[in-house]
Amino acid sequence: MTDTETKPERYVRPPSAESSGEAPGRGRLKGRRILIVGGGQRVFDASTDPIGNGRAMSILCAREGAKVSVADLNRSSAEQTVKRITDEGGEGFAIAADVTREADVVRMIDEAHRAMGGLDGMVLNIGTFGQVGLDAVSAEEWNRIYDVNVRGPMLCCRAAMPKFDNGGAIVFISSIAALKAGSQMAVYDSSKAALGGLMRNIAHLGSRRGIRANLVYPGLVDTPNGREAGAGRPNRGKGHIPFGRQATAWEIAYAVLFFLSDESVYITAQTLAVDSGLSGM
């Protein structure tokens, strides 16, 4: 390239109807009963917050024909998600639960199973951040984050699988932080990496009953959580993103929808990075 030549301007594809959460449902989950654990969302700036991953997943599953139980530590946030579902004519149920408490998890599964008349899908959208590096993280804080990010999903699977219909589907939500040390939070990255091992074991345990388990690695996503993380690390999302923008929560939700639906009926113990190629290029 000569001094007089310039690089072509990067093409940024405009959001699709799916990217914006405006596409109509297509009946891909008709008759299904799905529990979204972590279906509320945090508030970073209530006046400007975009929709979060868990809320987008919940609304999309209902839009595609499923009954949806929305579980969250914050009951009010779960209820707000359910209102979005019912306002669209869907059927949703709010449940408050702390996944670090086994009794809460057992109750949550029982409530979801009873409210929906069964259970054949579960999304584990669970996670909390930690401090950067190692020295700033106490042993107690390390254990607390692992209790949420790893032990919580394990407790959910252990309580839910006996109540699952044959042929159901479980989707774990990890992060591309599990694939590369980009976040600099060793406790977060390693806990999210541990979900891969847990997922494969759940897939093995469920295989005789046709219960599938898969995992989604979201990349940089414009959500309240993402904006909160960016406030602590101003360079987050400022580097080269192959597609020129962060993902929307709806784009993560559609990947989850694929793993929940019969379109992926022969897929288990697999992972999918929704990150515009950040983890692969």
pLDDT per position as a tens digit, 48-70: 888 999 999 999 999 999 999 99
Q: Is residue 261 part of a domain?
A: yes
Q: For residue 233, is pLDDT > 60? A: no
Q: How many CB atoms lie within 10 A of CB 82?
A: 24
pLDDT per position as a tens digit, 25-49: 999 999 999 999 999 998 877 778 8
Q: Across-strand partners of 171?
A: 123, 214
Q: Is residue 4 part of a domain?
A: no
Q: Is residue 142 part of a domain?
A: yes
Q: Which residues contact 82 (CB under 8 A, 6 or more apart)?
A: 58, 68, 70, 92, 93, 94
Q: Which residues contact 272 (CB under 8 A, 6 or more apart)?
A: 214, 215, 216, 217, 255, 258, 259
Range of the domain at 131: 33-274
Q: Is the pTM of this model over 0.95?
A: no
pLDDT per position as a tens digit, 126-154: 999 888 888 889 999 999 999 999 999 99
Q: Is residue 6 part of a domain?
A: no
Q: So what's the pLDDT on residue 230?
A: 60
Q: For residue 208, is pLDDT > 90? A: yes
Q: Is residue 255 part of a domain?
A: yes
Rounded to an integer, what distance in angstroms lies between the CA atom of residue 260 and that of residue 154?
A: 19
- 108 phi and psi angles, rounded to 5 deg: -60, -45
Rounded to an integer, what distance in angstroms lies between the CA atom of residue 171 and that of residue 218?
A: 12
Q: How many CB atoms lie within 10 A of CB 139?
A: 7
The helix (H) or strand (E) run that includes residue 135 is none
Q: Is residue 5 part of a domain?
A: no
